[in-house]
Structure 1
Amino acid sequence: SYHGSEDRTLESAVRIFQDTGANALKLEGGGRVIDTIRLLTETGIPVVAHLGLLPQSAAVAGGYKVQGKTAAAAEQLIQDAIACEAAGACMIVLECIPYQLAEQVSKAVSIPTIGIGAGADTDGQVLVFHDTVKYGNHHIPKFVEAYANIGEDIRNGLQKYASAVKSGEFPTAAHRFAMKEDELVALYGGMNDVR
């Protein structure tokens, strides 16, 4: 929604911002995206920048890998963070970068940094809900701590349900609704023993 013309980007951003009631829009990337951050913030739309691993384009960039591991890549990420702040970003998400780099980025900018796989030296932390509670069948990244395993509970519950339906244990009389006898008589024209 923000990699096209300025007009298309602005139109998409305004619509998304207004239709969702969001407090800000998140844009992934540095470089050319910095001009988009500036465009949106000058229009009055708060922007959260996202640097490091960029999930929306990870497949194009070689997969889900730690970013900023070399001195040159780390320096570029720091410069991108500074440029994002200068363009008006109100916060920066730092994903899947070395903890030392996250600490340096956090020191280089005055806006909050939020880490996801970036160590403890950011201003806050975020994880993907599905990862944190193990909902689904996907790979859980190394940087995630799961606090529940609802995926297993859901699978077990659905298997029990399917088994109960197949065996006839569900539904029982406790799960059904009944009509009053006089309504049944009116419906079936005098049948006495309709159940």
Structure 2
Amino acid sequence: MKIAQQLKDKNIAEYLIYMWQVEDMIRANGCDIDQMERNVLAAYPCSEEEKGPLKQWYSDLINMMREEGVSEKGHLRINHNVIINLTDLHSQLLSSSQFPFYSSAYFKALPYIVELRAKNNKKEEPELETCFEALYGVMLLRLQKKAVSEGTEKAVKTIASLLSMLANYYDKNKKGELKLE
């Protein structure tokens, strides 16, 4: 809960990846708060009084996942909203002549995005969601100690650079420091 809020305040891209991990962790525990308490909360290095709000946070997420029909796959509406907000900012940055470095990063990443969308057969999916799925997928492969090809490494590095820039612009925009046309 604290980690999610800190990431949301600091880096929206890292926040989204973290929240996708949380969704998967909840699924791995059968969307069951008792299992979450035994397998996850018991390992948290926090006091007993801190565990109460943390348990409530996980319980709320579990309920949201059930209500939104994403208990087995998909993402919570709150996470989709992050993609929507980032996509809106992404479009504004691309349509402005003030951000040539962002446009350049996007056009470097675009061939990889197109290739990933073709492979995944998700052409209606927002481009940024494809980007996040690529980063998340590689992160999962690394956690499983599976090999990542050189081509995939290059693609992910390019995509990560784009998302890093976008996250920085998002932060500046949130603080009122970004002047969009």
Q: Specify if TM > 0.5.
A: no
Q: Give the structure with higher Rg (CA).
A: 1
TM interval, short-chain normalised: under 0.3
- Normalized per residue, the structure richer in helix is 2
Relative to total residues, which structure has the larger strand share, 1 or 2?
Answer: 1
User: How high is the TM-score relative to the length of structure 2?
Assistant: 0.24
